[in-house]
Amino acid sequence: MKKLLATLLAVPASLLVGHSQTAVTLSVNGVNPKHTISRHIYGHFSEHLGRCIYDGFWVSDSLNVPKKDRIRLDIVEALKKIQIPNLRWPGGCFADEYHWRDGIGPRNQRPTMVNTNWGGVTEDNSFGTHEFLELCNLLNTEPYVSANVGSGTVEEMAKWVEYLNFDGISPMSNLRKQNGRETPWKVTFWGVGNESWGCGGNMTPDYYADEYKRYATYARDYAGTRLKKIASGSNGNDYNWTEVLMKKVGRQMWGLTLHHYTLPTGNWGKKGSATAFDEQEYFNTMRNCLQMEELVTRHSAIMDRYDADKNVALVVDEWGIWTDVEPGTNPGFLYQQNSLRDALIAATTLNIFNNHADRVKMANLAQTVNVLQALVLTQKEKMILTPTYHVFDLFKVHQDAKLLPVSFSSPDYTSGNKKLPALNISASKDSTGKVHLTLVNIDPKNKLTISTSLAGVKFGSVTGQVLTAAKLTDVNSFDEPNKIKNVAFNGAKKQGDQLVIEMPAQSIVMLELK
């Protein structure tokens, strides 16, 4: 053990936070895994909000960065590296005031619009359907389109589906061809409204269920493209909404959404700073993050009563930390920095989704660029990758792999008389036989020694990466863009048939066994 402790990490000593050690026994079951971790759990969300689309993905002709048309290619290349499987657009609350025909045709003839939800800015509609689908093509990702139910019409959604997916002769396919696209895009993921309980129309669940069925009826499956229709689901712990939708809609939807944001203070009025917080606020933030486990479990249990075969997906298409905006920025633009704390939130949440892969089939972090828990931040020509980006880089190994059940008793992370599980884990086996474990230690003081037995798993070597920092408040800045990044991890060793892991405090570790 002394030899093992002496070879902990290939990282600077300043990152080895923690002054005490706790032992954990972990078992991983690799015998006949049943469930696949859908790659779509690793999806993202890009709304017309702040600087996500305009001055994010879609930049001025004069900006001196690599571009295709006005799509910023350094962002594209970064997102391709983490293999994003889908991208949700155009909202969010924006979706229910967006009329798609305003965003097609010659750009100099498109009408402007006021984004009443986010900052009251006037948009020129230069980024519309064709631009979004070209972005998805460059990203090699699947589009997830949210249709307007709140202020739109059944006809409007039906004709958008036809415009995108019909390969015959019709007014919409002819219009698409006139606008430069000969063949249909065959978009399968369609959201039927967004947050219909709130900004999407302030509806009751019964009223929305009827509206969903009406809109979904006319959203047609054209040849070669069967739609995956996603109903607007619950706001956090509104379990009645899920009950009503499952009872009244059921198998008429491919998926049902759930939205949950982690607020540091738990208060929408004063959410807390992205960078200036103490350990007590950190503890409260992680407690609010871990509510996702209860939400997913309880919503899944309701869905199970109506859908025992788990045909309807739980789609967590908005999640992440939401803090106060950075000082001096437009409060309607939701621009926030991204710290090690946010990386721990992302990794913990992804582990929760992985372990519920029987029901959670899709999720979308909010949001991709310059908004909320972003993967990418930009400042004119400069671009930085946030700690959250590096989490998705670590976790991409789970996409479409078989979930391996894990069993362990987590040590407590304590604050006064309150406690949280310090450790969370998920494991999978990919198509080549490699086994991957992602482990998160949220405790900022205590290291963990994890002794692991792996039933049905034979391996000869273990390699890994770790993401950590000296302080929970550390960020990647435009002056110091690589302060937090994934580095080699040498704290896992094969000992006989067992795997022993020495895990630092406040860290995320990904291990590969082969």
Please tell me the predicted confidence (pLDDT) of residue 291.
98
275 shares its domain with 210: yes
90 shares its domain with 9: no
DSSP string, 430-496: -TTS-EEEEEEE--SSEEEEEEEEEET---S-EEEEEE--SSTT-B--SSSTTSS--EE---EEEET
Q: Select from 400, 435, 460 the last residue of a domain.
A: 400
Helix (H, G, I), strand (E, B) or coil at 70: coil
- Of the residues 47, 97, 195, 502, which is catalytic? 195
Of 259, 235, 375, 398, give the one whose Cα is nearest residue 315: 259
Please tell me the predicted confidence (pLDDT) of residue 22.
87
Q: Please give the distance of CA 48 from its chain centroid, rounded to a whole number.
A: 17
369 shares its domain with 456: no
**Measured distance CA(340)–CA(473) in Å, rounded:** 6
What CATH number did the domain enclosing 29 receive?
Answer: 2.60.40.1180
**Measured distance CA(134)–CA(45) in Å, rounded:** 16
Any idea how long the chain is?
A: 514
43 shares its domain with 23: no
Please tell me the predicted confidence (pLDDT) of residue 11.
44
Q: Select from 351, 379, 400 the last residue of a domain.
A: 400
Q: Rounded to 5 degrees, what are φ and ψ at 388?
A: -65, -40
367 shares its domain with 441: no
Please tell me the predicted confidence (pLDDT) of residue 14.
38
Render pLDDT for 254-287 as a digit per residue (tens, 0 to 9).
Answer: 999 999 999 999 999 999 999 999 999 999 999 9
Of 175, 74, 72, 77, give the one whose Cα is nearest residue 130: 175
**Measured distance CA(128)–CA(120) in Å, rounded:** 19
> Regarding beta strands 360-366 and 313-321, do their DSSP bridges make them parallel or antiparallel, or are they unpaired?
parallel
In the chain, which stretches have pLDDT less than 50?
A: 1-18
457 shares its domain with 322: no
93 shares its domain with 235: yes
Please tell me the predicted confidence (pLDDT) of residue 17.
46
Render pLDDT for 19-37 as a digit per residue (tens, 0 to 9).
Answer: 567 899 999 999 999 999 9
Helix (H, G, I), strand (E, B) or coil at 153: coil
214 shares its domain with 330: yes
Count up the domains in the chain and report the number.
2
44 shares its domain with 30: no
206 shares its domain with 227: yes
Please tell me the predicted confidence (pLDDT) of residue 21.
75
Is 195 a catalytic site residue? yes
**Measured distance CA(19)–CA(444) in Å, rounded:** 10
What CATH number did the domain enclosing 293 receive?
Answer: 3.20.20.80
Render pLDDT for 374-417 as a digit per residue (tens, 0 to 9).
Answer: 999 999 999 999 999 999 999 999 999 999 999 999 999 999 99
* Range 444-483 burial, b when 16+ CB lie within 10 A, else e: bebbbbbebebeebebeebebbbbbbeebbbbbeeeebee
51 shares its domain with 153: yes
Identify the residue whose tokens are 């580095």.
Answer: 487
251 shares its domain with 329: yes
Q: Select from 385, 400, 415 the last residue of a domain.
A: 400
**Measured distance CA(26)–CA(309) in Å, rounded:** 30
DSSP 368: S
Of 333, 138, 357, 363, give the one whose Cα is nearest residue 230: 363
- Of the residues 97, 123, 162, 318, which is catalytic? 318
**Measured distance CA(8)–CA(277) in Å, rounded:** 29
Sequence-distant (≥ 6) Cβ neighbours of residue 95 within 8 angstroms = 47, 146, 147, 148, 150, 191, 193, 194, 200
Tokens representing 246? 């499952």
Between the two ends of the chain, the Cα-to-Cα distance in Å is 23
Beta strands in 342-461 (DSSP E): 360-366, 376-379, 382-385, 402-404, 406-408, 412-415, 418-421, 423-429, 435-441, 446-455
Q: What is the mean pLDDT of the chain?
A: 95
Query: Domain range spanning residue 360?
Result: 39-400
